[in-house]
Amino acid sequence: MSNNKIYLFLLTIGPVQSFIAQARKTVDLYAGSKILTELTKTGVESIGRPNIVFPYAKYEIEKDWEEVNSLPNRFVAQLSGTESEINQLGKDTEDAIRAKFKSVSEKALKNARIPTFPAFKQQIEQHLEVYWVFEEIKNNDYNTAYSNIQQQLASMKNVRRFKQFNEGNGEKGRKCSLDGERNALFFGESTNSNYLDSKWNPFATIIEGTKLSKNEGLSAVSFLKRMYDSQSFPSTIEIALKSDIENISGEPLKTLNEYKNIIFNHDKIVSLCLENFTEMNCNDKQRFITTFDAEYYYKENITEESIPNPYQRQLILEKFIPSFAHSLNTRHYALISFDGDSMGQWLSGEYLPQDISLLDFHQKISICLMDFAKEATVIVNSSGETIYAGGDDFLGFVNIQYLSSVLVSLQEAFKEKVNKPLNQSLSFSTGIVIAHYKTPLNDVLNQVRRLQMNAKKSFDDKNASGLAFMNRSSIISEMYCKNDDLILLFCLAKAFKDKHISSTFLFKFVNNCTPIIGQLSDEFAFLAQVSILKVELKRLMKRAKSPKADWKYIEEAIYEPLVEKILLQGFNLKTLETSIDNFASFVKMAEKIAGELK
């Protein structure tokens, strides 16, 4: 008689947010996502793809498993065996994941032609957090087993396991530029010698080339991401300029091609300088920059430090950049992050009708979310680059010129790929940051996550977006709205761009209305106040419109929805509170976007 039983098995790999989000360059971000996907795939293969319930790996067996670029950091499997066999399988799967991480890290060292050393090995071994639990499915009760393993996993994570570095002595000295936690072991060329002092860091290693910047120090984990052998990933500058470059033509395009092919080609730049500068000497020839970087598209980045040779620098500033500077002038890009609303409740079966089994729902929603992830990747990659698409969880860069169409397409794809086949009404909330290319990437990542979480809290039924516009160091404007109202935001931005209406109405409206907003004692006074604000807004918008603009169109397409969907969101009939802050931020956001649109 067989002692085999049916078990539900849950495994999760972490840390996720810190591993991905701790990034100074877009390639760090992308590599973190790819590595986590590799680890999840290793775990899935160890458990056996046919056993996976969520994400539904049976679906992928019929397709090319190697082409799966993004997976969640956790999976649920249904396994048959004895308790000791399932326990051993869990240990073997964790060992396989850790071995894969070690293999990937050693490959990074090999690419840099550096032998493994103790400090590197210790940081790698202590990074991963792999948790797994399993529960017998008794009486065919999948729901109870799923609920129990979720609770068990949460309890395990509350008791965090850790080991001290350096045999309990900890780490001292310069910390990693990315994670700020571990000792920096690898440094860029020309780094301050104080950072390389062998007294506190006997393993400090200089990395030649452009992978690490001057004075940048990376820990083993951060170095792994920087050196990860993956496809090249565009920088924030290349994302910001994507539309500009696609639309450049004629003489500016010709000059741009010459710029990249001549100015940064050693033999050609030497010849060109000798032709233009008779005073150039042999020593000057040794100081040319021969590797093109996207930052050289902008005049502000052509400095003595970045281009030390004065002749090369003079040619760039006088003969090349003036020819295409007016065509390549976008400085901002968009970062989008979204995830499903109330996914915990959906996956626990809280929102499901009685006639749908939780197991069937898990398998079906997995297929739907993977279909959506693939479609979302296609949508974003047509005008930007995807970092990861794990189903209901997404992060990607978008060129600002295409932001409106991308957001609309994502909403439509979610309805078509998820809600329609499930016959349910799921939604997702979004964080969007429009950032200057020089804004520290880590700051942008922190803000986009914060906006996404705040968007969920801003509306009872969620399905919302939070947007922020950042300059180099801070947020200029921040607002929240329902996802469907993003169309209104870009409609208003287009009206500003086309000069059909001036944004001056906003400042007059705020100045005129702020004095009348105050504590209210009854509903009648509250409604009277609302009415005054609506009339005043209409009056000021009429005055701000261009003589050639059609007021009827502006009234129907902008004013009325602006009042109903945005202005009135700040009014609360229960508490008799009135606020126009988010309304003002909404209009200001539209004005900022208008300034970036071509």
Rounded Cα distance, 520 and 558, in Å: 29
Distance, CA of 7 to CA of 527 (rounded, Å): 59
Residue 28: Cβ within 10 Å count: 23
Identity (one letter) of the amino acid at 240? A
Position 1 scores a pLDDT of: 40
Q: What letter does residue 172 receive in the DSSP assignment?
A: -
Q: Are the C-beta atoms of 239 and 398 separated by less than 8 Å?
A: yes
DSSP-based helix, strand, coil % in the chain, nearest 5: 55, 15, 30
* pLDDT score, position 168: 47
> What CA dihedral angle connects 485, 489, 491 and 494, to 10 degrees?
-170
CA atoms within 13 A of residue 378's CA, in its CB half-sphere: 8
Dihedral class, residue 360 (left if φ above 0, else alpha if ψ from -120 to 50, else beta): alpha
- 521-to-231, 295, 403, 532, 578 alpha-carbon distances in Å: 63, 58, 44, 17, 12
Question: Residue for token digits 């419109």?
Answer: 545
* Tokens read off for 596: 């970036």
Q: What is the pLDDT of residues 179-224, one digit of tens each?
A: 888 888 888 887 777 777 766 677 888 888 778 888 888 999 999 9
pTM: 0.91
Count of alpha carbons within 13 angstroms of residue 530, beta-carbon side: 19
Q: Report all structural domains of the chain as residue ranges with CATH numbers, in order of start.
A: 5-168 (3.30.70.2220), 234-240+330-473 (3.30.70.270), 249-324 (no CATH), 485-598 (no CATH)
Q: Where are the beta strands (DSSP E) in 489-582?
A: 571-572, 577-578
CA distance 179 to 22: 6
Nearest-angstrom CA–CA distance, 56 and 61: 10
pLDDT averaged over every residue in the chain: 88
Calpha distance 544→537 (Å, rounded): 10
CA 434 to chain centre: 11
Task: Write out residues in the chain with pLDDT < 70, as ranges.
Answer: 1-2, 57-64, 159-172, 198-200, 229-231, 281-286, 518-521, 576
What is residue 245's three-state secondary structure?
helix
Whether the bond between 15 and the residue before it is cis, its omega within 30 degrees of 0, is yes
> For 461, which DSSP code?
T
- Cβ atoms 334, 398 nearer than 8 A: yes
Nearest 10 degrees: Cα torsion 340, 345, 347, 353: -110
Give the neighbor-by-neighbor strand order of the sheet with 186-188: 205-207, 186-188, 217-218
Three-state DSSP at 401 gives helix
**pLDDT score, position 465:** 97
Q: What is the pLDDT of residue 78?
A: 95
* C-alpha 555: how far from chain center: 36
What was the pLDDT predicted at 383? 94
Q: What is the pLDDT of residue 519?
A: 61
What is the predicted pLDDT for the residue at 180? 83
